[in-house]
Chain A
Amino acid sequence: MQLQDKYRIALLSAYALSLHGFEALLPTPIPWLKLGLANIITLVALMLYGFKTAMTVTLIRVILASIFTGTFLGPSFMLSLGGGVSSTAAMGLAWAVSRHFFGPVGLSLIGALFHNAAQLALAYLVFIQRIEAIMIISPVIILIGAVTGLMNGVVGGLLIKNLSRE
């Protein structure tokens, strides 16, 4: 890994962390409703610098955020890790398979979908184990994910455009 890559990863992780923290401060109407702003950084990292950078940034963000909030290795950390890793992996796969098929918005939507799917699966396996509750909540969460994913994708797309212009 080159020094430049390390700087880049550190910088992106710092952005992701601050967005993650900023999001935690925002009041949301529903407690489990998350905007997933940090996913913007994952998206930018993936599209500009590749899958490895994106995954590294995601891992650093999830682990550091949980250490900062004191939930490291706790249940919410597990959810966060599962969601982050699977969404980054899904976005990376979609990006690798079809480089010009999906734009940033499409990738962001895929990321949001897999983030939510992974979290729901984990929540079912680890916490709730009531399939009715998961069934009721899944479509709602996926719908909200589509909306937030769209927003994040648009913001990510603008960011990428500006960054690659420089």
Chain B
Amino acid sequence: MKTIIRSTTCADRLLFLLLVLASCAGIFISREAVSQSSDVLIEVNGKAAYTFPLTTDRLVTVDGPCGPTVVEIRERKVHVREASCPNRLCLKEGWISKGVIVCLPNRIVVTVGGGSAGSPRGVDAVTG
């Protein structure tokens, strides 16, 4: 072992250390970054219909039982732009960058980033 270490130059050792440190840091940074640049999942009737990256702007028209629902992705945020459901609650949800928008009558669920929207003030569920 000793002779092996002695056979390496200073630059060798430095390079190795640098590579290990940089890649270890990279592992954590990339995990963080990827968990943030999440996907937009659109489900109709409980079945996954589309998955899009949040980073690409686009308009998607999804057909549900009540008719088309237009979902818009823009600047890493998602909202329902047009809806044909009777109560249009989904329109009122506004723009989200994490969490869920639901249109119950049209059976459409739009989930951003795994859906675990930070529940209000450390609560696991809400009754009422």
- Quick check: is B11 within 8 A (CB to CB) of the other chain? yes
Chain B, interface SS category: helix
Nearest to A130 among chain B residues (CB) is: B53
Chain A, interface SS category: helix
Using known A-B contacts A106-B12, A106-B15, A135-B30, determine if residue A143 contacts B20 with beta carbons closer than 8 Å.
yes
Q: What's the tally of chain A residues with a CB closer than 8 Å to chain B?
A: 27
Count the A-B residue pairs with Cβ separation under 8 angstroms: how many?
A: 76
Is the pair B23, A140 in contact by a Cβ cutoff of 8 Å?
yes
- Quick check: is A138 within 8 A (CB to CB) of the other chain? yes
Complex alpha-carbon distance, A106 and B16, angstroms = 7
Is the pair B9, A146 in contact by a Cβ cutoff of 8 Å?
no
Complex alpha-carbon distance, A109 and B33, angstroms = 27
Is the pair A142, B34 in contact by a Cβ cutoff of 8 Å?
no
B45 to chain A, nearest CB (A): 27
- Quick check: is B115 within 8 A (CB to CB) of the other chain? no
In the complex, which residues of chain B have a beta carbon less than 8 angstroms from the beta carbon of A140?
23, 27
Using known A-B contacts A132-B37, A136-B31, determine if residue A102 contacts B26 with beta carbons closer than 8 Å.
no
In the complex, which residues of chain B have a beta carbon less than 8 angstroms from the beta carbon of A27?
none
In the complex, which residues of chain A have a beta carbon less than 8 angstroms from the beta carbon of B24?
139, 143
Is the pair A146, B34 in contact by a Cβ cutoff of 8 Å?
no
Nearest to A135 among chain B residues (CB) is: B30
Nearest to A141 among chain B residues (CB) is: B23
- Quick check: is B7 within 8 A (CB to CB) of the other chain? yes
Contacts A/B (CB < 8 Å), 17 sampled: A101-B9, A101-B11, A102-B12, A105-B16, A106-B9, A106-B12, A110-B15, A139-B22, A139-B24, A139-B29, A140-B27, A143-B20, A143-B23, A153-B8, A154-B7, A157-B4, A161-B7
Interface residue tally on B, bucketed by range: 20 to 34
Residues of B within 8 A of A (CB): 4, 7-9, 11-12, 15-16, 19-20, 22-27, 29-31, 33-34, 37, 53
In the complex, which residues of chain B have a beta carbon less than 8 angstroms from the beta carbon of A57?
none
- Quick check: is A46 within 8 A (CB to CB) of the other chain? no
A97 to chain B, nearest CB (A): 12
Is the pair B23, A139 in contact by a Cβ cutoff of 8 Å?
yes
Nearest to A100 among chain B residues (CB) is: B9
Complex alpha-carbon distance, A149 and B31, angstroms = 24
